[in-house]
Structure 1
Amino acid sequence: MPGGNDAAPPVATAPAPSPTPSPAARPSRTALKTDNYSFEYSYPAEAAAIPPLARWLAGRRAALQAELDKDTAAFRKEAEVGGFDFRPYDSTTSWQVVTDTPRLLSLSAEIYVYSGGAHGSPGFDALVWDKAAGRRLAPTELFVSSEAIQRAVGTAFCAEIDRLRQQRRGVPVVRSNDAFNNCPDVAEATLILGSTNRQKIDRIGLLVGPYVAGPYAEGTFEVTLPVTKALIGAAKPYYRDEFAVR
């Protein structure tokens, strides 16, 4: 056709399939104990199979250990000068696969830190690797804003937090200005993305650390919610197809 373009239109390519760990892509685990601290850091084979993600995780591991070296050396010197007992520190970070869809690898980490006080502190972290874009994201970055997530799941999140608090306390929760009886914002939790079919994100987790929804003795709270149309609407347009209502 005169003036036309006989070339076939570009064909949209699907995201690269989930990497199958090769024999070289093994889970990574570092564990060591010194006079000053115990240190553990691990991540799964699925993450090790993605070189830039593995480099980032290894960099985090090195930074945490360097900080531990520095802090414990300073604390030991402080103990010697002050004449009190030195208590070895503890740092544990364990990354695990939450789900692995055709486009997104979702990881969460359980963290435990002890730095010489009355007790240690558990915590959480999370990330998503976008295979199509080749980049690491915080799970919240798949959404328009934290406020949009709050509007979409805030009510369900609060109801589940209250159910868990009542279960642990043995009495109904009466909302008040006391932080332990009020409902925390969703942004105070660690968001993780999950799937029941490894194809689409159809559920989310909200992991809440100590002192956010209750006293230390009540521990952490883990809330799982199904993906809804409202939550999909809160996602950035180019990620909405990665979600499905459950």
Structure 2
Amino acid sequence: MLLDEVGLVLDMAEISIVIPAHNEERFLPKCLAAFRRAEAYAGISIEVIVVLNRCSDGTAKLAEKAGAVLVHEDEANLSKIRNAGAAVASAPVLLTCDADSVPHERVLAVILRRLQSGKVVGGGCLTLPERWSLGIVCSVGAVMPYLIWHGVSFGLFWCRTEDFRAIGGFNEALASIEDLDFAKRLKALGKQRGQRFGTVLRAPLVTSCRKFDQFGDWYLFLNPRFVWRVFRGTDRAAADQFWYEVGR
């Protein structure tokens, strides 16, 4: 709670949610509606921050109508986009999620309970595709060893806002795998304190399969060299090919 100048009690958001958005009018409404359901389930107040990135569709109007805080960042760099949203976050807990993903109704309640326990520094979320195929299973299997090796998860990141800022947020020098890099540094911070990196398992995130729709379900499995280029983190051409310049 927060007191204003005349002593009235003001509601203060407990979680700030940063959502990068590049022409997301197709997916954003479902994402925002799901977070509002999660807000109601947890009985808390959230602050939704939509970071508009080179949008030429109705994303901004949809986000504004939904009551989101709007931030503009036109650089083709997901780290800068997420950091721009985090820079204006006012809540003590910070969460970042992609616009084409739908969070579970219980996810915010689970995250707050985990952080309040003091046993975890933050973490990620079990992420499930909106559809399955043999190609998707094999392609996911092509990248899983990287996550297992480092003992982290991704999809939806959450931690205390002060800890996000303490580790410098997302690394803006990276063109890709900025999420894996962030998870590793957050895990390292927790290790210093005797805290674990947590993964929300019982309130999974469902994400779109638009990359598989664009490139094919077998693409990652059949192109291990491309996967290697992406996981280098500094290959701008690979990042543009898969994320920033698709369809442009």
TM class by smaller structure? 0.3 to 0.5
Higher relative contact order (CA 8 A, sep 6+): 2
Q: Which has the higher helix share?
A: 2
Between Structure 1 and Structure 2, whose CA radius of gyration is higher? Answer: 1
What's the TM-score once normalised by structure 2's chain length? 0.32
What's the TM-score once normalised by structure 1's chain length? 0.32
